[in-house]
Chain A
């Protein structure tokens, strides 16, 4: 700025008014610029933190997995696959896989061999062997997952595909 910014004693009035107006505009501009930068940065920080909380990659077991050969399972038996959260059941019509996640609040029901029912330990939900809820708080039957044979003759369960109650993997 140098000497141009120094006010002289005999400066004309119009110029003075203009200078004050310019200074006022500058002040306002800086005010909004500062707040704009601050709010913009805060907003960016907020949005990035929310996005940051959603990972791009998760290390989780695949939803498609092999469960062995049909001969490994006896007719009428229920196999609990705790790590996969799946019940594998073989009856006269074939195999079916039920979700081992209670439809009430997500606990894992226990298979009661004596009563031939699934009972959830958290809030007492009960399901028949075919997955239908008949007592307690669960609002829906246990979902049934798609099954197929892998080329090597072993069975596969696909947890990403739900199927209807009449689905059986025939042996």
Chain B
């Protein structure tokens, strides 16, 4: 394994590691929040209130999760900016750039679905806007350009589990936030780190 000469290491090299660190914090705190949260449209908001005001250290754990998530959303694009400006995406690291872009999208989807889980007004209308964007996306959305799917078969219908936002939608956002997206992210992060190792360690300025 080749390492970047010590004199060339900058603090900006930490951004990727920081992203992974914040992901780890979210992975560690998230399951504990699940002990008090039920993804039901009738209970979700009340559960979050309980978590914030009644459960011992509930507000602390929730805020650690929340702040780590927010900082991850900040760190991942900054990490990409560093990689881009230093040309660290160049051969032999092209595949890792693509994996990184996928991880960026997954990070945003995590942030979006996590925002929806309290099911307050903010979450409900954010979900409305997000699902309408799905409806209006090209090809896979029923109302978008070049649409090929009817309203009961398009991407928004699948994400909502119906034509309106209701219990099936919250269940799906919950599944995405707690199972599908973190699983995909963990797997891709493994690939990301393996690719770094294979290409000879941390990337440096060319």
Whether chain B is bound by chain A comes out as yes
Interface set of A (CB-CB < 8 Å, partner B): 53-55, 58-61, 105-107, 122
Contact A55 B168 (CB under 8 A): yes
In angstroms, how far is the closest chain A Cβ from the Cβ of B37?
23
- Given A53-B158, A54-B153, A54-B158: A105 and B133 within 8 A (CB)? yes
Q: 0/1 per residue, B119-141, Cβ < 8 Å to A?
A: 00000010011011101000000
> Is there a chain A Cβ closer than 8 Å to B163's Cβ?
yes
Q: Which residue of A lies closest to B127 (CB)?
A: A106
Assembly CA distance A106 to B152 (angstroms): 17
B27 contacts partner chain A, Cβ-Cβ < 8 Å:
no
Contacts of B128 in A (CB 8 A): 105-107
CB distance from A120 to the nearest CB of B (A): 10
When distances are taken between beta carbons in the complex, the residues of chain A under 8 Å from B163 are 58, 60
Q: Which B residue sits closest to A102, measured CB to CB?
A: B132
Contact with A55, one of B133, B135, B162 (Cβ below 8 angstroms):
B162
User: With a CB–CB cut-off of 8 A, which chain B residues contact A55?
Assistant: 161-162, 168
Secondary structure dominating the interface of B: helix
Question: Given the complex, which residues of B lie within 8 Å of A106, measured CB to CB?
Answer: 128-129, 131-132, 135
A60 CA / B157 CA spacing, docked (Å): 13
**Shortest distance between the CB of A52 and any CB in chain B (Å):** 10
Which chain A residue shows the least CB distance to B158?
A53
Contact B129 A60 (CB under 8 A): no
Q: Does B166 contact A (CB under 8 A)?
A: yes
| Distance A107 CA – B121 CA, assembled complex (angstroms) | 11
Q: Flag B164-190 by CB within 8 Å of A: 1 or 0 each.
A: 101010000000000000000000000
Smallest Cβ distance from A62 to chain B, in angstroms? 12
Q: How far is the CB of B15 from chain A (nearest CB, A)?
A: 32
Kindly state the separation between the CA atoms of A85 and B141 in the bound complex, as whole angstroms: 21
A107 to B128, CA, bound (A): 7
Q: Select from chain B the residue with minimum beta-carbon distance to A58.
A: B162
Can you list the 4 inter-chain pairs with the closest CB atoms, starting with the nearest?
A106-B132, A58-B162, A105-B129, A105-B132
A169 to chain B, nearest CB (A): 25
In the complex, A60→B168 CA distance in Å? 11
Residue pair B157, A54 in contact (C-beta under 8 Å): yes
Q: Which of A59, A61, A107 has a CB less than 8 Å from the CB of B129?
A: A107
Report B137 CB to chain A, min CB distance, Å: 12
Shortest Cβ distance from residue A76 to the other chain B in the assembled complex, whole angstroms: 29
Extra contacts, 16 of them, besides A55-B161, A122-B129 (Cβ < 8 A), are: A53-B158, A53-B161, A54-B153, A54-B158, A55-B168, A58-B162, A58-B168, A60-B163, A60-B164, A105-B129, A105-B132, A105-B133, A106-B131, A106-B132, A107-B125, A107-B128
